[in-house]
Structure 1
Amino acid sequence: MGSEHALSLLNHIKGAELTAVCDTNAERMKWAEQHLPESVKYYDTAIELFESRSIDAVLICTPHYDHPTLAIKAFEYGYHVLVEKPAGAYTKSVQQMNDAAMKSDRKFGIMYNQRTNPLYQKLKDLIQSGELGEIRRTNWIITNWYRSQSYYNSGGWRATWAGEGGGVLLNQDPHQLDLWQWTTGMMPKRIRAFCHFGKYRNIEVEDDVTAYVEYENGATGLFITTTGEAPGTNRFEINGDQGKIVVEDGKLTFWRLRTPEPQFNAEYKGGFGSPECWKCEIPVAEGQGEQHQGILRNFTNAILHDEELLAPGEEGIHGLTLSNAMYLSAWTDNWVELPMDSDLFYKKLMEKVENSTFLKETTASKTFDVKGTY
């Protein structure tokens, strides 16, 4: 992602200037020297970059564990910070990052590029404006994150507790976990999850998950995800007092009740009847939005013109809380109440790291073309 963002900053983001890059991988530095202008400066460590004062803001595109530690250090040096998703591997460190951001007067964003998608922006608008009424159920089946064994073999850090801190929930699903709570405006009060570890691939982390959630208002929800099924499904369904909204195949469909269900139930005396329902295809702007470039542009404008951030960095903890709670539920074979015990989760995660005996087959480290993966 760092390579892709570097090219975007050079070619597409007005007001932004790529002045320096930092990488501990010598091969990636060679790529940078071949593809970036001579004016760009190169650093082998983050501290060298921070102390150089050659930048105003930093974009952190490292493995997950390093996101909070590098962000905190960047705030200490007085830089604006944009982090890749997820915010980190565990909420305890992410809260520390958020605290550092709050103490700073710097801008703080996270690469939740799916928030630029007009489909989810329209969904959020419909729900938050009250068109759907009170939410009763949220179901998301997101099984089209297919990944082959060669993907996992491309880097020693991938799909390990020590290197990545998780699997499909932490690598692919941060987008959906963010959108799940961002569009509905709701976080669950408790979660019960079932995770399968290395079910379809030779990895030690989860590649198949089914999670059930309950909300404060009595609503329930289901989140199903995997990287081992083909063809996959991406269907988000939200049911409320005034109908049902489905997001699937790039379309937003609203089955709108002419009479809200609670009112119909109170008034109807005919037994087997049901509310009159209209199927409405909600118009949504074409395309998937500006995606990564949209977040880069928004972050740049936030610094230069005080534009409101579409994806404030502090909000990264919400989706991570959901994934952490799902892990903790699976590990303890029990419900997890929110807000969860972040110290207990950290303890359990470190036990996974320290007790791992998994030997991973890896090929030479490879950087993939990420265009179209979102």
Structure 2
Amino acid sequence: MEKVRFGIIGVGNIGTVHARYLLAGQVEGASLAAVCDHNPDKHAVIRRLTGDGVPLFNNAQEMIDSGLIDAVIVATPHYDHPTLSMMAMRAGIHTLCEKPAGVYTAQVQEMNACARECDVQFGIMYNQRPNPLYQKVKDLIDSGELGEIRRSNWIITNWYRSQSYYNSGGWRATWKGEGGGVLLNQDPHQLDLWQWLVGMPVRLRAFCQFGKHRDIEVEDEVTAYAEYANGATGVFITTVAETPGTNRLEIVGSRGKVVVEEGQLRFWRLRESETEFNARWQNGFGEPECWEVSIPCAPECSDHQVITANFTAAILRGEPLIAPGCEGIRGLTLSNAMHLSTWTDDWVDLPFDEQRYYELLHQRIAESVEKPAVSRTLDASGSW
């Protein structure tokens, strides 16, 4: 294979973003070979985007069986991700799925098993992983520069979404249509990065507010506290109703502190570890000598095509995936656990009771109210 022929299932906000860079030839070794959207009312707009040279389907199975594509990008509402992804995998089609991979963890386990059985590449569109800022933070942690991780805090409140955003699709912000709110729609990137950088906690306690600031069923504000096996702690705070918002990640280790905020990385390094200093210091007041170190780092980048380019290289040359499907379950585990903690008003140990979560989720799905909405494709350019 010299070039990977991509199909896109779901040409809405983010599907349109993927179509544009593929049509522009911005991914070496890849082309847009077909698109699919089951809503015929959108086909005229899609055709204006793609032109007449790209076949347009209204049935995913027909596109998958057409012989026109080698790989697919699944960019539909969340509940359809597992079904459509596995449909493609079983046809031998390499599958790149938008985040989140599924609404609950059991779905993602099934997806991973299917990818192994079908021997296809399976990736998640975690386009924040290749961001040089977070790549550098991971390097500082993995190399031991920060020492043992003691605390992490992520305040991610710059996800401002107006009521008109939620009114742009009947599926949005409902238990039946989306399976969650800010944790499932906006925060999968940060939840993935959080566990990618500092690992998975052993238990957490969360407080989700449902429809606090918006006329929606699902969570629009969350505060969560996590505990780790080594005694470290973490706090995750998010909302869609705060402006101006904040995006600040702070990680503290025994040898220093790193902060990512406003597209900048700052690193404070202790000349000796806090553990060693504390063991030898006998003068009461005092603290280890600390240096703020300038860290070379490429400009911030979160383009979706970076993940697609990596996925293409994995198909063509066997390069390792930046965001393999087998890791898509971890961030989802955190969001599921946060829901479960709130619903049960209790701590949740990890791994958590997936069956209990499934039962409580489906109670909410059964009570979910259909909302009238006129489907609109919004401009998602520049979004995460």
Do Structure 1 and Structure 2 share a fold, with TM-score over 0.5? yes
Query: 1:114 corresponds to which residue?
Result: 128
Q: Does 1:79 align with 2:93?
A: yes
Q: Does 1:104 align with 2:104?
A: no
1:157 offset after TM fit, Å? Answer: 0.4
C-alpha distance after superposition, 1:122-155 (max 9, x if no partner): 0111101110001001110001111101101110
1:67 offset after TM fit, Å? Answer: 0.6
Match of 1:272 among 285, 288, 295: 285
Match of 2:242 among 229, 235, 246: 229
Q: Does 1:288 align with 2:301?
A: yes
Query: 2:161 corresponds to which residue?
Result: 147
C-alpha distance after superposition, 1:329-356 (max 9, x if no partner): 0000011111111111111100001023
| Structure 2: distance between partners of 1:361 and 1:3 | 24
Match of 2:329 among 288, 308, 317: 317
Q: Does 1:124 align with 2:138?
A: yes
1:283 offset after TM fit, Å? Answer: 2.1
Query: 1:343 corresponds to which residue?
Result: 355
CA distance 1:42–1:359, change in 2 (3 Å): closer
CA contact (8 A) 2:96 2:124 kept: yes
| Structure 2: distance between partners of 1:219 and 1:50 | 46
CA contact (8 A) 1:189 1:214 kept: yes
1:361 offset after TM fit, Å? Answer: 5.3
Query: 1:329 corresponds to which residue?
Result: 341
Query: 1:215 corresponds to which residue?
Result: 228
C-alpha distance after superposition, 1:298-321 (max 9, x if no partner): 111111111111111121111000
Q: Does 1:352 align with 2:352?
A: no
1:326 offset after TM fit, Å? Answer: 0.1
CA contact (8 A) 1:121 1:183 kept: no
1:171 offset after TM fit, Å? Answer: 0.4
CA contact (8 A) 1:255 1:279 kept: yes
| Structure 2: distance between partners of 1:197 and 1:304 | 44
Q: Where does the alignment leave 5 or more consecutive residues of structure 1 unmatched? A: none
1:70 offset after TM fit, Å? Answer: 0.9
Aligned length: 370
CA contact (8 A) 1:256 1:280 kept: yes
Q: Does 1:4 align with 2:17?
A: yes
Alignment of 1:21-170 (within 5 A): 21-170=35-184
Alignment of 1:191-210 (within 5 A): 191-210=204-223
1:3 offset after TM fit, Å? Answer: 1.3
Match of 1:257 among 254, 270, 277: 270
Query: 1:367 corresponds to which residue?
Result: 377
Query: 2:3 corresponds to which residue?
Result: none
CA contact (8 A) 1:211 1:224 kept: yes
Match of 2:29 among 15, 35, 56: 15
Deviates more, 1:263-272 or 1:297-306: 297-306
CA contact (8 A) 1:203 1:360 kept: no
1:5 offset after TM fit, Å? Answer: 0.6
- The amino acid of 2:52's aligned partner reads E
- The amino acid of 1:190's aligned partner reads R
Match of 1:174 among 180, 188, 208: 188
C-alpha distance after superposition, 1:11-57 (max 9, x if no partner): 11121121111111113221222221433212111111122122111
User: Which 4+ stretches in 1 moved above 4 angstroms?
Assistant: none
| Structure 1: distance between partners of 2:292 and 2:27 | 40
Deviates more, 1:260-269 or 1:5-14: 5-14
| Structure 2: distance between partners of 1:345 and 1:98 | 20
C-alpha distance after superposition, 1:153-196 (max 9, x if no partner): 11000000000000000000001001101122x10000100000
| Structure 1: distance between partners of 2:300 and 2:187 | 21
Secondary structure in 2 aligned to 1:62? coil
1:359 offset after TM fit, Å? Answer: 5.8
| Structure 1: distance between partners of 2:86 and 2:156 | 32
Q: Where does the alignment leave 5 or more consecutive residues of structure 2 unmatched? A: 1-13
TM-score, length basis structure 1: 0.97
C-alpha distance after superposition, 1:223-276 (max 9, x if no partner): 000001111111100111101111111111111111100000000001111111
Alignment of 1:241-256 (within 5 A): 241-256=254-269
| Structure 2: distance between partners of 1:197 and 1:334 | 17
- What is the RMSD computed on CA atoms of the aligned residues? 1.1
C-alpha distance after superposition, 1:83-112 (max 9, x if no partner): 001111111111111111121211111100
TM-score, length basis structure 2: 0.94
| Structure 2: distance between partners of 1:320 and 1:276 | 40
| Structure 2: distance between partners of 1:75 and 1:125 | 33
| Structure 2: distance between partners of 1:133 and 1:201 | 42
Aligned-pair identity in percent equals: 61
Query: 2:310 corresponds to which residue?
Result: 298
- The amino acid of 2:355's aligned partner reads D
| Structure 2: distance between partners of 1:180 and 1:75 | 29
